[in-house]
Amino acid sequence: MRSLTTTSLLTLFLSATTASAAALGLSVGLDFPGQLPISTADNDFPVPGENPLTFCSSPEADILTIEHVDLSPNPPEPGKKLTIKATGTFHKDVEEGAKVLLQVKYGYIRLINEEADLCEQIQNVDLECPLEKGKLSLVKEVDLPKEIPPGKYTVLADVYTKEKEKITCLEAMVVFDIKR
């Protein structure tokens, strides 16, 4: 996922959701009838493509226009390789100092609530700042751990420049069931 901040964000979403939950060893005794499809939150701003993402608010003024994000498989499955394909357009350069506020919840429990340097994070997906104005595409594969605790995960990534201009803001929800 790196030729695009969108991919970086999605990788952050999925990595943070799965890795932090697995690292914390969280599990619950709830029984879900089966894997629920990932779905967009109840808002009017779904991200185009086969994905669980929604924009936090209207993306009209965002620095990044996301054209599509596709996940395969959708919904993601523990222990499987997740392929992420994304394209988008930056309407201006994104310089050093950009930040991402990342929040991950497991049910009502907040697992992550931190602000990170966007330019440091995108190095994990073979990108670097400045992210130049123009169209970007990316394909990224992520190995999801088998040990993802069952439950509902919600993720928010609010991305902005050092001048506090909104690059994008994305939300997602994923529900994993108990494997028997």
Quickly count: other Cβ atoms within 10 Å of residue 97's Cβ. Answer: 13
CA atoms within 13 A on the CB side of 47: 33
Within 8 A by CB and 6+ apart from 41, the residues are: 54, 171, 173
Whole-prediction pTM value?
A: 0.76
Residue 160 in contact with residue 99, Cβ under 8 Å? yes
Residue ranges making up the domain that contains 171: 5-176
Of 43, 149, 139, nearest to 105 by C-alpha is 149
Quickly count: other Cβ atoms within 10 Å of residue 35's Cβ. Answer: 17
pLDDT for 123? 85
pLDDT for 42? 54
Q: How many domains does the chain have?
A: 1
Look at residue 3 and tell me whether its pLDDT is greater than 90: no
Work out the average pLDDT over 101-117.
Answer: 95
For 6-15, 32-41, 103-112, 167-176, which range has the lowest pLDDT when averaged over its residues? 32-41
Q: What is the CATH number of the domain that holds 129?
A: 2.70.220.10
* Residue 114 to residue 107: CA distance in whole angstroms: 18
Look at residue 100 and tell me whether its pLDDT is greater than 80: yes
